[in-house]
Amino acid sequence: MTEQLPLFPLQTVLFPGGRLPLKIFETRYIDLVSRCLRETAPFGVCLIRRGTEAGMTAEFFPMGTSARIVDWDQRADGLLGITVQGERRFRVLAGSADSNRQIWGEVEWCEEPPNATSLADQELAPLREFLERASGTLELPYETRESELRDPNWLSFRLAELLPDLGLRQALLQMDSGQERLAQLRTLLVATRTAA
C-alpha cells in the first residue's frame, strides 16, 4: 500500500527514533510545517544526493524516514525552529512538485523485521559500550535505557547517527534489518580500533 507524503530533502540522514532540530525559512517549508502541525501529520526526510536545501528542488535518495514535529518555537532571529522525531523508513516510488515547489512522494513503508538478535551478546557488547560512552561525552537528544540497548534496530540507528559520513549513514538506513546494520557497524568499529 502506498501513501502520499510531503518530502523535505536535507543534507542529513534522519533515522527512526532520532531527533533533528530544523530552522524553517522557505515559504514552501513554512507551509509544510503549518499543514503538518494543523493535521498532526508527518513529512518525509530524505538525504540530498545533488543540489542544496534552499532554492531549486534538489535530487534526493529514494529512501528516507518520516518525521513528526515534537516541538516548535519562534527563534530570536525570527525564523521558525522545529524539532522532529524520526518514525518509519519509506521508499519513494514516484515524486512530483506542486506549484509552491513543495515535493510530494508516493511512498511505500518499509517494515522492520522482528528484533531477533542474531549477534551474540559478546559481539554486541562493544557496540553498546561505545554508545554508552558517546552518550556520556556528546549531548545526545535522548537517554539510553537497557531495553533499548538490547533492541538491534534502536541500537543500530543510534550508532549510525554518530557517523560523520552521510553516504555511510544512508547505506545503513537502506539496510533491511538491525542485525545487518549492527554487523556493518561492528566491522567499522573493529577497523577503526585496529587503525588507531
Q: What is the pLDDT of residue 187?
A: 87
- Tell me the pLDDT band of 6, cut-offs 50, 70 and 90: very high
- Superfamily of domain 2-109 in the CATH hierarchy: LON domain-like (2.30.130.40)
Q: What is the pLDDT of residue 143?
A: 60
Q: What is the pLDDT of residues 135-183, one digit of tens each?
A: 655 555 556 566 666 778 888 999 999 899 999 999 999 999 888 998 8
- Does residue 120 register a pLDDT over 60? no
- Tell me the pLDDT band of 79, cut-offs 50, 70 and 90: confident
Question: What average pLDDT does range 101-121 have in this prediction?
Answer: 79
Q: What is the per-residue burial (b if ≥16 Cβ within 10 Å, else e) of 90-110?
A: bbbeebeeeeeebbbbebeeb
Q: What is the pLDDT of residue 189?
A: 79
Domain with CATH 2.30.130.40 in the chain: 2-109
- Does residue 132 register a pLDDT over 80? no
Q: What is the pLDDT of residues 28-76, one digit of tens each?
A: 999 999 999 999 999 999 999 998 777 667 899 999 999 999 999 988 8
Better-scored residue on pLDDT, 56 or 25: 25
SS3 annotation, the chain: CEEEEEEEEECCCCCCCCEEEEEECCHHHHHHHHHHHHHCCCEEEEEEEECCCCCCCCEEEEEEEEEEEEEEEECCCCCEEEEEEEEEEEEEEEEEECCCCCEEEEEEECCCCCCCCCCCHHHHHHHHHHHHHHHHHCCCCCCCCHHHHCCHHHHHHHHHHCCCCHHHHHHHHHCCCHHHHHHHHHHHHHHHHHHC
CATH of domain 121-195: 1.10.4060
- Tell me the pLDDT band of 116, cut-offs 50, 70 and 90: low
